[in-house]
Structure 1
Amino acid sequence: MRVVLAEDLFLLRDGLVRLLEAHGFEIAAAVESGPELARALAELDPDVAVVDVRLPPTYTDEGLQCALRARRDRPGLPVLVLSQHVEQLYARELLAGDAGTSRAGAARHGGGGVGYLLKDRVFDAEQFVDAVRRVAGGGTVMDPQVIRQLLSRRAAEDRPLARLTPREREVLELMAQGRSNSAIAGQLVVTERAIAKHTSNIFAKLDLEVSDDDNRRVLAVLAYLDQGR
């Protein structure tokens, strides 16, 4: 699996290269700036891009914008974005681009996976590598802190959310992070059938369309949580 990696800090970039290579990834390019990232994505056709949001020369959202442009040019390119801080705007921009991915492009690039993680997750090697693989395989990976902020902002004024049971809220949070029913069942130590029932109840209470497609249901839940921002 070929990876284009963009990170301006040499030590972190070198560490990520070593980590990914140790888990069987091929590093097609490891770059430190926006222009280098744009060239690498245009020329190398990676299976997944792992991109720091803030890159030279602007140190604003150069990395994110390069990734979004690449996804417009080559629909479905899987992108995992890394950020130092929780910025819900970045998550929304990624997901908005994902919603517009063509089916043909998504199929070509493994389903058009997207992910948004805090850099702190990098220090948990197993969690980080799992996130890269899930995004490369077409999944959606959202940082738990982003989901918790969205939930907490909506909870106080949202009657449908108030109708959820404590267990349903747990399931909703994990669902919004991009977890499948089987993964949620494993984490909560219950049967997959029980999780399917919880997710059905959640979608009914939030008036969302039921879907077995993990990405579609993540997008639906995040769109719901992000309403009114």
Structure 2
Amino acid sequence: MQHPSSDTGIRLDRASYAAGERSILSDITLHLTERRIGILGQNGSGKTTLLRLMAGLIAPGRGRVTVEGMDAASDRRRMLAAVGILFQNPEHQIIFPTVEEELSFGLKQAGRCAEEARSLARAVLAAQGRSHWAAAPVSTLSQGQKQFLCLLSVLAMEPRTILLDEPFSGLDLPTQIRLSRRLAGLPQRLVTISHDPEVVAGCDRVIWLDGGRVRADGQAGDVTAAFRAEMERLGDLDADADLPC
């Protein structure tokens, strides 16, 4: 059996992260090379922190995170071509007042001149039948439209891997369906985090994160079944009945 090279995909070697004295992730060792990967866990399990480590937005306190052989946190320009991230809340991602400015920003960060970035942003919108969005204030977009704008901003950078943080949260069902279809057709590697086993059920590989550690890692059916069983067990405990005085 041929093993993937260490400079392919995303590798975490005993990566740990803490906020002050509170440990969030502990000794995470993974090598992610599959085309569709799910990271499953309850709220507070460390999923979003793990994605931020993979994107190079934060550095591990211990251990190492590499993407295609690069240190994830040290070379932002090269990382833009390797990894894009779609946050759960588009308000946390959008920073410019108009759609065209928002789309242009990442392209300029990647080294495009201002005029080329604007031209490419308009081409991206035209390809999606949304040329009329260019001058629109971002504040006039719906939540689903803002999420789609964020996805277009990521896709404009042509990253080889896209990290998705609860991508369907807060979206109505028709918008979820449209976004799901759009994501399914992408050629990039997708790493999707969710607390919902249905969202990651079609992935090639699913990792269950529990209390900042990997609890299970394997085929989607096996991992989601184990996760569901544990959630049902916890649900039966009525664990939130005891409140502090």
Is the TM value for this pair above 0.5? Answer: no
The structure showing larger relative contact order (alpha-carbon pairs under 8 Å, at least 6 residues apart) is 2
What TM-score does the superposition give when structure 1 sets the normalisation length? 0.29
Higher strand share: 2
Structure number with bigger Rg: 2
What TM-score does the superposition give when structure 2 sets the normalisation length? 0.28
